[in-house]
Structure formats: C-alpha cells, structure tokens
C-alpha cells in the first residue's frame, strides 16, 4: 500500500506577527489574481509575452523576486513561499511597483514543482532556505535527492539554478547532492565564484542579518 502520509515539511512557521491591514487586503484582492493554478499548467500560458519563466523557491519577503521582475519585465517570475507574512510582503512589492510579470504560489514549492511540465523553466533561485541546523532535522531540508531530480526535470537544457546559504553544513550537503546529478554542471572555476555574490544577485534584509554560521555561499549550476 502506498504511503498516504504527506512529505516532511521543509519550512518552519506559516505565520508570525499580525499582518498589516493593507497587506491583508492584498491577500484578499491581489493574490487570487496572480496565484498560479492549482492544477498542472504551462508557465508560458500565464504570460503570453514572456520570453521565459523563472522560479524562486522560498522568496521570503519578496525583495529579490520583485527586483528580478522589475529588472526583467519580459520574464515571468513565479514565486513559491508558504510563510503568510512573506506572501503579504511580496504582494505589497508587486502592487507598489505595478509588476505584471509575477505569479505566486502560497504553499509548498514541491507541490508547485509537481504541476510544472518538463523543461519549462529557464532559471531557479533557492536563496537561504530554512537550514534546519539540528542533525535530527536535516531530513527536513529542501535539498534532497528527490527534489534535485524534480528541479532538473523542470529546468530546460541550458537553464540555470542558483542555491545560496549561510550555513556551512547545508552548503556542503547541498553541493554533494547537486554534484551527484550528472545533468547539473557547477559553474565555479575559483573560490571567489562562490564566495562573492553573483553580479545579478539582489541582497535582501534576511541575508544582511547574517543569521548563519558562515559568510553567504553562492552555488550556480547549468542544466546540461
């Protein structure tokens, strides 16, 4: 008999402080308009003029997502985030900047990946995911072999994946899992390639807090 239990959560809390009234209103009015479909879908159908689609998994407050959308108005930016306060914050950015190229999934990113067709994304960002630092919780980390396989499936050939973390052990384990996949090619040629933020990186308030145990590390890969 198949295991009917849901997969382990890869994220912590769903909601923290009370959401401001203005952002709460956007949850009711704007989110339904830009929420991705709850059934399998083709990203290109969500924005006919988009030259390609990018995905950010765990967008936090939406700063990076909104900045990338503003810099690339011809790209569809899909964001996945289960944290209610983060979704509300991202909606504020979308509303204030009038970003018509953002679509959101307010839930588990793995559910979203399962609804995407093969080779449908040109870029994926996974920036500072929940590190689950305690050893007994490492099984809850997002980057596991099955998730890497799904990421490879939805990335088009030549597509790019970026992972960043400020937890040394998570960086090491994630790198092991990415390198174990022959379809992902690590682009680093020297130490500065992972020690320095990439030229197109957008620093967020979370990153500036330096809550991890090491300086931020950036791992970029290309889908073979």
In the chain, domain spans: 21-223
pLDDT at site 133: 84
Structure confidence by residue, pLDDT tens digits, 16-40 = 678 989 999 999 999 999 999 999 9
Cα(113)–Cα(57) distance, rounded to whole angstroms?
Answer: 10
To 5 degrees, how large is the angle CA 219–CA 34–CA 98? 85
- What pTM, to 2 d.p., does this model score? 0.93
Class of domain 21-223: alpha beta
Q: Which of 3, 28, 118, 130 is catalytic?
A: 130
Residues of the chain falling short of pLDDT 70: 1-16, 137
Would you call 130 a catalytic residue per the annotation? yes
pLDDT single digits (tens) 119-133: 999 999 999 999 978
Q: Which of 31, 212, 35, 26 is nearest to 133 (CA)?
A: 212
């Amino acid at each position: 008999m198949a295991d009917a239990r849901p997969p382990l959560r890869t994220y912590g809390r769903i909601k923290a402080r009370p959401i401001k009234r203005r952002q709460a209103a956007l949850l009711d009015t704007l989110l339904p308009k830009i929420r991705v479909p709850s059934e399998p879908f083709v990203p290109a159908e969500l924005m006919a003029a988009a030259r390609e689609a990018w995905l950010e998994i765990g967008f936090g407050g939406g700063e990076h997502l909104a900045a990338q959308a503003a810099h690339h108005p011809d790209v569809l930016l899909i964001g996945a985030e289960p944290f209610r306060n983060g979704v509300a914050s991202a909606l504020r950015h979308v509303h204030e900047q009038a970003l018509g190229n953002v679509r959101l999934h307010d839930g588990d990113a793995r559910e979203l990946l399962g609804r995407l067709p093969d080779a449908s994304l040109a870029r994926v960002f996974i920036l500072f995911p929940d590190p689950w630092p305690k050893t007994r919780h490492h099984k809850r980390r997002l980057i596991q072999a099955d998730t890497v396989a799904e990421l490879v499936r939805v990335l088009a050939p030549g597509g790019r994946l970026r992972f960043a973390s400020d937890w040394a052990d998570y960086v090491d384990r994630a790198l092991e899992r990415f390198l174990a996949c022959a379809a992902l090619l690590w682009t680093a040629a020297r130490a500065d390639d992972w020690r320095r933020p990439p030229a197109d990186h957008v620093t967020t308030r979370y990153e500036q807090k330096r809550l991890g145990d090491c300086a931020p590390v950036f791992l970029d890969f290309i889908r073979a």
